Structure 1
Amino acid sequence: MTPSSFPEPAVMAEIFAGQLLEIGAVHFNAKDPYRLASGMVSPVYIDCRKLISYPRIRSTVMDFAAATVLRQAGFEQFDCVAGGETAGIPFAAFLAERLGLPMIYVRKKPKGHGRNAQIEGVLPDGARVLVIEDLTTAGGSMFQFIDAIRAAGGVVEHGMALFFYDIFEEAVARFRAGNVTLHHLATWRDVLRAATDRQSFDAETLDAVGAFLDAPLEWSALHGGAAELPRS
């Protein structure tokens, strides 16, 4: 069902950040930081996949996602919703249901047998597609899916990340260069604010997370990780 109410973005961000803390999706560890696929090390890690196991929370999150898209993009701007392999697929299904739209999903690469398909579902030529992922760091994986949809004849001008890191200038530049408007519900700043208010972690850890968010690449380099994001 399409939402009929539109909470303010700051209210949705605050509630969503609290939900992520409530279900244990947020991990802060400055003493033994997490090594990411990019080679960076980080005192923060988030597991948005946990949302699918909490029906009441995921329903609220999908209401927020639908409200955000309708408010910021418009009511009749999309012909289908696409989820990227693998984490984006369930959220594409949930959001497509909310918006009353068809759904497709996109593999990271063609499956290599049968029809060798990369896109599953029906994608009419010229269809306007909203791409959704559980989270995006700098946009690399989302554009892998966007490029595949565009190559197949779809039109992508909007993306939705439930959670956006929002700490890398490269991400803003990538979406601008790719002519895609990124919509999101919450960022690391929202989560840090909620974690501080709730005293979810000790003060030393919260300070370390704040330092990382202020200068993530420098923090990574100082702790034995990569000092730059991959260009891909």
Structure 2
Amino acid sequence: MIPSAYPSDATMAAMTARMLLDIRAVHFNTKDLFTHASGKQAPTYIDCRKLISHPRIRSTAMDFLTCKVMRDAGLEAFDNIAGGETAGIPFAAFVAERMALPMSYVRKKPKGYGRAAQIEGEMPEGARVLLVEDLTTDGGSKLKFVDAIRAAGASCAHTAVVFSYGNLPDTERNLAAHGLTLHSLTTWADVITEARRGGDFDAETLEEVERFLDDPEGWRASRGLS
């Protein structure tokens, strides 16, 4: 069912941040740091995949994401919804169901057997594809998925995520240079605002996390981290 409500960006950002906090998808620890996929350490970690285990929150977030994409990109802008392996697959399925569109998914690399496919499902040549993922940091993984979609003969000019870091200035610039527009619901700044309002973390932790988010590399360097 296609959602018919179109909340403001500010409302969606705040509510999505609150939902992520409520399901404990947001983790801050300024002492025992988290190691990210890049190998770098940080006092922040977010696990948007937890959304799939909370039906009411999941449904609300997917309604928001669908509304935002249809409002910003157009109601008839897409022919196919693609999820990026693996975290993006369930979110792509939820959005595809709401938009009444076919769904496919993109592997990180071609599988080494059978048809050696990188695109699973049907993605016709010339199809206008929306790439859906759980989150984006610098946008690097999005470019690989988009390249695979385009190599298959489809087009992809938009990607939608629940969460964008929002503190990496090159992200949208890098995506735009690749012909890709980013649609996201909420950012670290929104989460910090909502966490402070709701008292989810103590003030000292939030202040230290903000210092990190303002200058991640400087924060790491000041602590002797690479």
Q: How does 1:26-37 map to 2 (within 5 A)?
A: 26-37=26-37
Q: TM-score w.r.t. structure 1 length?
A: 0.95
Q: Within 5 Å, which residues of 2 pair with 1:42-53?
A: 42-53=42-53
Whole-Å Cα distance in 1 between the matches of residues 224 and 127 of structure 2?
45
Residue 230 of structure 1 is matched in structure 2 by: none
SS in structure 2 of the partner of residue 4 of structure 1: coil
Per mean C-alpha deviation after superposition, the further-off stretch among 168-177 and 91-100 is 168-177
Total equivalences in the alignment: 226
What does residue 158 of structure 2 align with? Answer: 158
Partner in structure 1 of residue 221 of structure 2: 221
SS at match of 2:96: helix
- Greater displacement, 31-40 / 92-101: 31-40
> What is the Cα-based RMSD across aligned positions, in Å?
0.9
Cα 1:152/1:222, change in 2 over 3 Å: same
1-side partners of 2:130 and 2:118: how far apart? Answer: 17
Aligned residue for 2:133? 133
Q: Structure 1: how far apart are the matches of 2:222 and 2:117?
A: 43
1:107–1:119 Cα contact (<8 Å) kept: yes
Q: Quick check: 1:91–1:134 contact (8 Å CA) kept in 2?
A: yes
Structure 1 segment 152-191 matched on structure 2, within 5 A: 152-191=152-191
- Cα distance in 1 for residues equivalent to 2:188 and 2:149: 29
Q: Is the 8 A contact 2:111 2:118 kept in 1?
A: yes
Letter matched to residue 162 of structure 1 = V
- Partners in 1 of 2:27 and 2:224 — Cα distance? 19
For residues 37 and 66 of structure 1, the distance between their equivalents in structure 2, rounded to whole angstroms, comes to 28
Matched, 1:2 2:13: no
Which runs of 5 or more structure 2 residues have no equivalent in the other structure?
none
Contact 2:84 2:133 survives alignment (8 Å): yes
Contact 1:41-1:223 within 8 A present in 2 as well: no
State the 1:16 CA deviation: 0.5
- Residue 82 of structure 2 aligns with which residue? 82
Paired with 1:222 and 1:60, the residues of 2 have a C-alpha distance of 40
Question: What CA distance in whole angstroms lies between the structure 1 residues aligned with 2:172 and 2:183?
Answer: 12
Structure 1, 151-160 or 36-45: larger mean CA deviation = 36-45
Contact kept in structure 1, 2:9 and 2:185, CA below 8 Å: yes
Give me the identity figure in percent: 58
Following superposition, the deviation at residue 5 of structure 1 comes to: 1.1
TM-score (norm 2): 0.98
**How far apart in 1 are the matches of 2:73 and 2:88?**
20
Give the 3-state SS of the residue equivalent to 2:115 in structure 1.
Answer: coil
